[in-house]
């Protein structure tokens, strides 16, 4: 097989070629590195490439395959990781000056499980600073560009992960999703993005933004590929008390569409499912296609959706304020030069180390936790979150999945910098999954102007296999997964 074609194949296809001896892991890795050299200077998806190390890991994989002892179905298939996942001996900067030189002292559980499965790690991927953003423009090391149209944003905060997979630089990538940061850039770049249920994947080694919502996710070129990675990284971990073994992902199964019930919230699609909100055209088109394939569409009402976005930003910023307090210029991270006193050390180190968006969210979070404002903002947001969780739980008791838009608009112009409120509204359809802890995904469907369109699915807490199966079924109906 010509090596130039390897970059457009799915991980499942590469796995098959490896096992048939038609290609080696070194050849796949070299092909990826060649595409990175060609495209990354323009797209800025990778912050650092571990070329020599990845090739050495690929050679080890080839020896195992030759001996007939692969460690997993993805042994030899390269992967890359978002820059907020620790990988021992490597920088994990979170795309921030604050951690620009921070070297990870240990490896995140999700990354470790990929290495234990024999997957070479190609490098670390660009992102919004500390995962705070929806365009991958807030990072300290330049924006990520959309590989389908470099004049447009790639989405965020896992923009580097989505860009790298969509551009053929790597077949698979890990990201993180606190309010849509895997699904939204995947939608804007035309690939598959999966946010597992909260607790399905260990957060050990994921730099915290909002601990009650953060989740390690997968970006891939097909639902099948995403399922293969989920089989490797999901399950309990003694290092993360919030992880649950019973949420381990086992196997992708295509559903019987005649027995499949799909919920559509009237708050997003209207009582007559007549598509009244921005960005929902492709989701409604998908729902109609599933109905034609035998599925039952179920209009449902989730009134608490009205408060979801506001509740998310109050709670996530409050948690960010607490989590990022550790970066004080003393223990690790950026330290200002020659401060006048201890107060100046704190203020200048944080002022120099954090970017504007991170500062904005820390200040917002600190304000909502201030005495006298907790009841007005934080506790009301917690109550809204509880209502939303109850309402979603009731819907999921009788449905296999919930159809939703992913982004209210297609990828916008790079450097356009919409105001903060407009930017925050990019998460309108994705934050409910993080507030409720339910699994969710996005995958390409239809068009959004000259760019790929997308559709989202949410599932029961233990129902990731169902919604991934529905996505895989949809890919067969439209003849494949991501754009080549």
Query: Which sequence positions are flagged as catalytic?
Result: 82, 157, 181
CA distance 340 to 344: 6
pLDDT of residue 139: 98
Sheet containing strand 296-300, strands side by side:
46-49, 121-125, 79-82, 172-176, 216-220, 192-195, 440-448, 451-458, 401-404, 261-265, 296-300
pLDDT of residue 218: 98
pLDDT of residue 371: 80
Please give, one letter per residue, the 3-state secondary structure of the chain: CCHHHHHHCCHHHHHHHHHCCCCCHHHHHHHHHHHHHHHHHHHCCEEEECHHHHHHHHHHHHHHHHCCCCCCCCCCCCEEEECCECCCCCECCCCCHHHCCCECCCCCHHHHHHHHCCCCEEEEECCCHHHCCCCCCCCCCCCCECCCCCCEECCCCCHHHHHHHHCCCCCEEEEECCCCCCHHHHHHHCCEEEECCCCCECCCCECCCCCCCCCEEEEECCHHHHHHHHHHHECCECCECCCCHHHCCCCCCCCCHHHCEEEEEHHHHCCCCCCCCCCCHHHHHHHHHHHHCCCEEEEECCHHHHHHHHHHHHHHHHHHHHHHHHCCCCCCCCCCCCCCCHHHHHHHHHHHHCCHHHHHHHHHHHHHCCCCCHHHHHHHHHHHHHHHHHHHHHHHCCCCEEEECCCCCCCCECCCCCCHHHHHHHHCCCHHHHHHCCCEEEEEEEEECCEEEEEEEECCCCCHHHHHHHHHHHHHHHCCCCCC
Question: What are the tokens at 110?
Answer: 């999700």
Place of tokens 């130039």: 4
Mean pLDDT for each consecutive 10-residue tract of the chain (484 residues)? 80 97 97 97 98 98 97 98 98 98 97 98 98 97 98 97 98 98 98 98 98 98 98 98 97 94 95 80 95 96 97 97 94 90 93 96 95 89 98 96 95 82 88 98 95 97 97 83 42
**pTM, 2 dp:** 0.96
CA distance 333 to 363: 20
Place of tokens 């979801």: 308
CA distance 309 to 304: 10
CA distance 452 to 190: 5
CA distance 72 to 114: 9
pLDDT in tens, 109-143: 999 999 999 999 999 999 999 999 999 999 999 99
pLDDT of residue 483: 42
CA distance 125 to 90: 12
CB 177 within 8 A of CB 438: no
pLDDT of residue 66: 96
Pick the CATH number of 3-247 from 3.10.20.340, 3.40.50.970, 3.90.1300.10, 3.90.380.10: 3.90.1300.10
CB 193 within 8 A of CB 175: yes
Question: What are the tokens at 17?
Answer: 């070629």
Place of tokens 């223990």: 331
Instruction: Return the domain boundaries, the chain.
Output: 3-247
pLDDT in tens, 45-72: 999 999 999 999 999 999 999 999 999 9
Strand 172-176, strand 192-195: pairing: unpaired
Strand 79-82, strand 121-125: pairing: parallel
pLDDT of residue 315: 98
- Bridge-partner residues for 324, per DSSP? none
pLDDT of residue 481: 42
122 backbone φψ class: left, alpha, beta (φ>0; ψ -120 to 50): alpha
């Amino acid at each position: 097989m010509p090596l130039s074609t390897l970059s457009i194949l799915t991980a499942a296809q590469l796995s098959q070629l490896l096992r048939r001896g038609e290609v080696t892991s070194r050849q796949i890795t070299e092909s990826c590195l060649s595409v990175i050299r060609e495209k990354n200077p323009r797209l800025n998806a990778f912050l650092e490439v571990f070329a020599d190390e990845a090739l050495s890991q690929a050679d080890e994989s080839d020896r195992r395959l030759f001996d007939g002892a692969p460690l997993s179905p993805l042994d030899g298939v390269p992967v890359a990781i978002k820059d907020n996942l620790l990988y021992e001996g490597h920088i994990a900067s979170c795309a921030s000056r604050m951690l620009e030189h921070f070297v990870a002292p240990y490896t995140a559980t999700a990354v470790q499980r990929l290495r234990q499965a024999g997957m070479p790690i190609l490098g670390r991927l660009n992102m919004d600073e500390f995962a705070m953003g929806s365009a991958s423009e807030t990072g300290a090391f330049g924006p990520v560009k959309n590989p389908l149209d470099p004049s447009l944003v790639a989405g965020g905060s896992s923009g580097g992960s989505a860009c790298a997979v969509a551009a053929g630089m790597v077949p698979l990538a890990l990201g993180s999703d606190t309010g849509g940061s895997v699904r939204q850039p995947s939608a804007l770049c035309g690939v598959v993005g999966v946010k597992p249920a909260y607790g399905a994947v260990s957060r050990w080694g994921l730099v915290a933004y909002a601990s009650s919502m953060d989740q390690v996710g997968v970006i891939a070129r097909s639902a099948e590929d995403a399922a293969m990675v989920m089989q490797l990284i999901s399950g309990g971990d003694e290092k993360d008390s919030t992880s649950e073994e019973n949420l381990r992902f086992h196997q992708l199964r295509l559903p019987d569409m005649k027995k499949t019930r799909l919920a559509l919230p009237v708050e997003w699609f209207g009582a007559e499912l007549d598509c009244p909100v921005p960005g929902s055209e492709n989701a409604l088109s998908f729902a109609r296609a599933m109905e034609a394939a035998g599925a039952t569409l179920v209009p449902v009402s989730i009134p608490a959706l009205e408060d979801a976005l506001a509740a998310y930003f109050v709670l996530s910023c409050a948690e960010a304020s607490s989590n990022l307090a550790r970066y004080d210029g003393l223990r690790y991270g950026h330290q200002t030069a020659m401060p006048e006193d201890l107060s100046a050390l704190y203020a200048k180190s944080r002022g120099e180390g954090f970017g504007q968006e991170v500062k904005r969210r820390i200040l917002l979070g600190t304000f909502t936790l201030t005495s006298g404002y907790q009841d007005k903002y934080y506790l009301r947001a917690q109550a809204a979150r509880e209502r939303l969780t109850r309402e979603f739980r009731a819907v999921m008791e009788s449905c296999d999945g919930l159809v939703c838009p992913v982004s209210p608009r297609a990828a916008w112009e790079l450097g356009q910098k919409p105001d903060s409120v407009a930017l925050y509204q990019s998460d309108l359809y994705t934050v409910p999954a993080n507030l409720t802890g339910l699994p969710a995904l996005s995958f390409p469907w239809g068009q959004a102007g000259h760019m790929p369109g997308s559709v989202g699915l949410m599932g029961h807490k233990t129902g990731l296999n169902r919604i991934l199966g529905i996505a895989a079924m949809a890919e067969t109906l439209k003849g494949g997964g991501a754009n080549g």
